[in-house]
Amino acid sequence: MARVAAGEIITITKDGVPIGDIVPRGRLGEPSYPFRTDPMGPLDLPDLGGPSLTSDEIDETLRGMGSVDD
């Protein structure tokens, strides 16, 4: 019920076949997500003692990461 109170729709099954849903009051038919989708505001990131980089330096460092070379 805590998950329903948080906005999730729970599907009830019998032998693997969906037979009903538990939905938050007033939310019938609206999608529910297992993660937050609303903005959380500014992040308070800890100082880990690393170098201070500009946005351009970060972009240059990350450019090409994760790409596959042929």
The residues spanned by each domain of the chain are 1-25
Instruction: Identify whether the C-beta of residue 7 lies closer than 8 Å to the C-beta of residue 27.
Output: yes
Single-letter residue type at 61 = T
Alpha-carbon gap, residue 14 to 16, rounded angstroms: 5
Its pTM stands at: 0.37
Coil vs helix vs strand at 61: helix
CA dihedral 4, 40, 54, 65 (to 10 degrees): 10
Which residue has better confidence, 67 or 52? 52
At 47, the pLDDT band (50, 70, 90 cuts) reads: confident
Give the closest residue to 6 by CA, choosing from 25, 21, 20, 19: 25
- Residue 31 scores a pLDDT above 90: no
Instruction: Return the pLDDT at 12.
Output: 92
